[in-house]
Structure 1
Amino acid sequence: MDPPKLPLLLVLVFASTIDAQDLFPKPYCGSTGNFSANSTYQTALTALLSSISTTNSLSLTYGFFNASFAVSGASQTLYVIGSCRGDLTSESCRTCLNGSASDIRHLCPLQKEAVLYSENCSVRYSNTSIFRTVKTDPDYQLFNVNNVTSPDTYNAALRTLLDRLRGETAGGGSLRKYATGNTSAVFNTIYAMTQCTPDLTNQQCIDCLVTVIGRLGPCCAGKMGVRIMAPSCQFRYETDDQFFDPVGEPLPPPPAPVADALPPPPGGKSNSNRTVIIVVATSVSAVFLVGVIVLLRVKRKKQPRQRVEGETVDEISTVESLQFDFGTIREATDNFSNSKKLGQGGFGAVYMGRLYNGQEIAVKRLSHNSSQGEVEFKNEVMLLARLQHRNLVRLLGFCLEGVERLLIYEFVPNSSLDQFIFDPLKHANLNWDRRQKIIMGVARGLLYLHEDSRLRIIHRDLKASNILLDSDMNPKISDFGMARLFELDQTQAETNRDRGDLYAMHGNFSIKSDVFSFGVLVLEIVSGQKNNIFRAGDHAEILISSVWKNWREGTISKIIDPSITSSLSTEIVRCVHIGLLCVQENVANRPTMASVLLMLNSHSVTLQVPSQPAFFMHSNIESDMSSTQDYNSRVSDVDRLRSKSNQFSNNEVSVTEPYPR
């Protein structure tokens, strides 16, 4: 569906000037084609929408309806989804859905797909499958015309509340994904609710809410109340709790799984007069599946545990469905031919391959002599198999056979960002729009790692060479070889050998380490320069210090890539500003990635004045130090230098403490 640009409605919440009846129902009639009046298609649609009033499915008890019709003679299937607010009673939900079903038939009489939003429910139908599929358009945006008095404080409290509710909603189970909560902000209490249709997976629900909540900035940041409804999810917040029940109606006890009764077909095999086949999903298969999973887990617990040396194999067996045969991968890469080699990483080489079905893959072959190879392999498989985000490189599978340990990824055709941004010719292909798109994509991927994935992850090695670009130049964060997990309530990861976590051997890491690396990346993208160390008389200067100096002197245009200076705009300067906030010396002053994404999305968010960035202060440089030494200034390099700092003499390099940890 290609909906028109949606108008923003000014809603005077709880005021008499605008009533909810004036705002709903809100239809969006599709533009993918029409069916003929009195056709089989129309008959099927009418029957499908009418079945809401008669169905006794378990899901409707929890505020959700889905069904499909196979249209005889039309080679098409119709799909309908109805969803009610999570605090609505089952009877109120049925009433709302019935009314919306009637409205959508009259307001979109011949369209093959449509969405209709009502005050307490929504109905949509399509001739393409919409079940278990994330749809965020068309959306319906409403906001309170009153502004908050302290937007920064209010937005920070709101962001924290919505982040918490997003996780609670996604974990709500397969019958209801709905959460409410409140928090204090300045002189107000913010009440909020978030909801997804329960057919979505946990991750799909998170992705949907991230997208829809991300529209808050461009739409109505700083407003006292906002409601954005999308086909698959919605959220709302106000400073008044009258719009929702904070406690919520308790979930009714699940009845015995009984299939919806369907009328038997006419006797005999003749069924030519029947033009519609009604298919209504039941919960029998779900109950059966749960039983199978329980049996498998019990069986696994009864199996004897392997010796310690075999624990890697034991854990990876949980994702054995992803396992590739070594011979298949060897054939796909022409026996790991040099002509197929894409590059060499810290733990092995990466090859391009092509499977028998024509699918292109990237294969990471861990070095046999790598002391951390097995741990690295286990870490990447167990993490990446659980991560799904459009801005992360996707793990397709693995191979574990003898000394061979392979990781199989999706193939990303446009190589890495450093091959473009630092290339004297290719960098011209990255105009500002593309660079901004890359910055936004990396921010979203990093936010997912920090807050939205099942496991909270610190990447620890974010840099231009680890950002891959697909055919549309969309960024994908790669190489989670340095990624380390940290507990949900931890703000900083520390070494814990009893638990087996492999954090920094020297120094501590936190999400603010990744924020620093992101800031460096932003400055590199804007300037087109690596964060190099170079000689400047008796001292050395890196990109960060150069940007900081020009920022303070009001000559920021000097560090911006000449190929995009013609489009010099407030967006570019704002990105430099955000980059400097990320690399501040004081770790506590650095923003979280959630705040960074909000700042990137919304110009209404006021940026703090950045303080001095963290960077090395060098002195007494030896003559054998190259005048232009490549330096990535990533946290991993900091630790490496710190670990050797006691070995340095006074005539070598001294490192000051205020560098990011």
Structure 2
Amino acid sequence: MGPLPCLFLVLVSSSLSLALVPRAAAYSEYSCNGTTGNFTSGSAFAANLARLVAALPGNASSSASLFASASVGAAPADTAYGLALCRGDVADPRVCSACLADAFARLRRLCGGDRDATFYADLCTARYSGGDFLARPDDNSPVINALDVNGSTYYGWDARNATSRTLFLSLVGTLFSEMAMYAAYNSSAARMFASAAMYVNPQLPTVYGFVQCTPDLSRAQCWDCFQVLQDQNRRWYDGREGGRILGVRCSFRYEAYHFFQGMPEVRIGLKSDPSSSSAPESQEKKRKPQLEAQSRNSSATEDALKLWRIEESSSEFTLYDFPELAAATGGFSDENLLGRGGFGPVYKAS
């Protein structure tokens, strides 16, 4: 078994910070993966790596997908493989190029002669390796659990109350699921990402989220990558006000503030401008026509929100996770369908 990856957290101030959230310091994480050995200055691999990292920022920023991957080298032992991706909401190619150039430069300094290294910044992801990770689209490593270190827990729920915690975990799971579905199957193939905003009630802040896949994945591969993140989210999430699961092929981020550019593609529980207030969907007069046209609130999700609101006011109401319901109803089969109620289909347990 090879050496364990070296993970570090770096807090930096950067001119690339989003104008939307000037109060939030940009941060980055990197991993000197330690999986393919080391190289020495002046070697063939060092020369190939230098050519690779010099080309990738420009290649990615000039692409419609803000993504580029490449390999440099004739001999397999000396070939350098790389990947560069900017966040899907970045509008300025110069911002993309600057983020990637900075990421690769930092990696070269921080990881020295390591042949495999990854850098995660707010606006971009950069990786190079002496191994052909590009041939393994199902490999999302290195995956880093990046919960907001200094973030407090949500003030709208009591950590000692199991029901409330289950409720909030379900909300975060629904936010992720809706974004994952949109990014994998409804987004542009050039930039496979989705942003979202969710409103539940006045006691909880509007939650904002963002997911993205590298656009060289098929839609099915993107969806499969998100499912692994969903499982990791269930294990790692502890109720903080924000956090990320960072991976090379797909990633997830959520915060209690509007951290991405533009309006969200996915809105849950609200139809007005989510950046202006935590407004419920009943405020029909304030919603904008263009937001309504982009809205992707499914009836199933809206029904789930109604159930969650009922649970908050009733100690006798129990909320089950989706996998538990699917197992109990035989995959929601017609054989277990009893009829329809006020919230939709009614099933008996299989």
Q: Shared fold by TM > 0.5?
A: yes
Q: Alpha-carbon deviation of 1:595? A: 6.3
Q: Alpha-carbon deviation of 1:247? A: 2.5
Matched, 1:247 2:249: no
Q: Alpha-carbon deviation of 1:216? A: 2.6
Q: Alpha-carbon deviation of 1:136? A: 2.9
2:137 match: 133
Q: Alpha-carbon deviation of 1:2? A: 5.9
1:41 match: 45
Inter-CA distance 218–57: structure 2 relative to 1 (3 Å threshold): closer
Does the 8 Å CA contact 1:116/1:124 hold for their aligned counterparts?
yes
2:252 match: 235
**Identity across matched positions, percent:** 26
- Distance, in Å, in 1 between the alignment partners of 2:29 and 2:299 is 42
2:234 match: 217
1:660 match: 349
Pairs within 5 Å for 1:139-150: 139-140=143-144, 141-143=146-148, 145-148=151-154, 149-150=156-157
- Distance, in Å, in 2 between the alignment partners of 1:590 and 1:25 is 36
One-letter amino acid matched to 1:247:
M
Pairs within 5 Å for 1:106-121: 106-121=109-124
2:83 match: 81
Inter-CA distance 126–590: structure 2 relative to 1 (3 Å threshold): same
Does the 8 Å CA contact 2:209/2:254 hold for their aligned counterparts?
yes
- Distance, in Å, in 2 between the alignment partners of 1:103 and 1:635 is 50
Inter-CA distance 216–248: structure 2 relative to 1 (3 Å threshold): closer
Does the 8 Å CA contact 2:118/2:126 hold for their aligned counterparts?
yes
Inter-CA distance 596–63: structure 2 relative to 1 (3 Å threshold): farther
Matched, 1:204 2:233: no
- Distance, in Å, in 1 between the alignment partners of 2:71 and 2:247 is 21
Pairs within 5 Å for 1:154-193: 154-171=168-185, 172-186=187-201, 187=203, 188-193=205-210
Does the 8 Å CA contact 1:25/1:119 hold for their aligned counterparts?
no
1:381 match: none
Does the 8 Å CA contact 1:173/1:198 hold for their aligned counterparts?
no
2:166 match: 152
Matched, 1:28 2:42: no
Structure 2, unaligned runs of 5 or more = 12-20, 158-164, 266-297, 302-316, 337-346
- Distance, in Å, in 2 between the alignment partners of 1:24 and 1:56 is 19
Does the 8 Å CA contact 1:3/1:28 hold for their aligned counterparts?
no
Deviates more, 1:215-224 or 1:114-123: 215-224
Structure showing greater Rg:
1
1:591 match: 320
- Distance, in Å, in 1 between the alignment partners of 2:242 and 2:324 is 19
Deviates more, 1:206-215 or 1:40-49: 206-215
- Distance, in Å, in 2 between the alignment partners of 1:86 and 1:105 is 25
Inter-CA distance 63–596: structure 2 relative to 1 (3 Å threshold): farther
- Distance, in Å, in 1 between the alignment partners of 2:96 and 2:263 is 18
Inter-CA distance 8–596: structure 2 relative to 1 (3 Å threshold): farther
Does the 8 Å CA contact 1:44/1:71 hold for their aligned counterparts?
no
Q: Alpha-carbon deviation of 1:30? A: 2.2
Q: Alpha-carbon deviation of 1:174? A: 3.5
Residue 214 of structure 1 aligns to a residue whose secondary structure is helix
Pairs within 5 Å for 1:255-294: none
Q: Alpha-carbon deviation of 1:589? A: 5.7
Pairs within 5 Å for 1:273-422: none
Residue 79 of structure 2 aligns to a residue whose secondary structure is strand
One-letter amino acid matched to 2:208:
Y
Q: Cα RMSD over matched residues? A: 4.0
Q: Alpha-carbon deviation of 1:137? A: 2.6
- Distance, in Å, in 1 between the alignment partners of 2:332 and 2:70 is 52
Inter-CA distance 246–221: structure 2 relative to 1 (3 Å threshold): farther
Q: Alpha-carbon deviation of 1:167? A: 0.8
What TM-score, normalized by structure 2, do the two folds share? 0.65
One-letter amino acid matched to 1:182:
A
Inter-CA distance 43–5: structure 2 relative to 1 (3 Å threshold): closer
Does the 8 Å CA contact 1:225/1:236 hold for their aligned counterparts?
yes
2:105 match: 102
Inter-CA distance 29–490: structure 2 relative to 1 (3 Å threshold): closer
Q: Alpha-carbon deviation of 1:94? A: 1.0
One-letter amino acid matched to 1:147:
T
Does the 8 Å CA contact 1:25/1:116 hold for their aligned counterparts?
yes
Pairs within 5 Å for 1:485-564: none
Q: Which has the higher contact order (CA 8 A, sep 6+)?
A: 2
Does the 8 Å CA contact 1:65/1:81 hold for their aligned counterparts?
yes
- Distance, in Å, in 1 between the alignment partners of 2:22 and 2:262 is 21
Structure 1, unaligned runs of 5 or more = 250-487, 492-587, 598-612, 615-632, 640-657
- Distance, in Å, in 2 between the alignment partners of 1:635 and 1:112 is 49
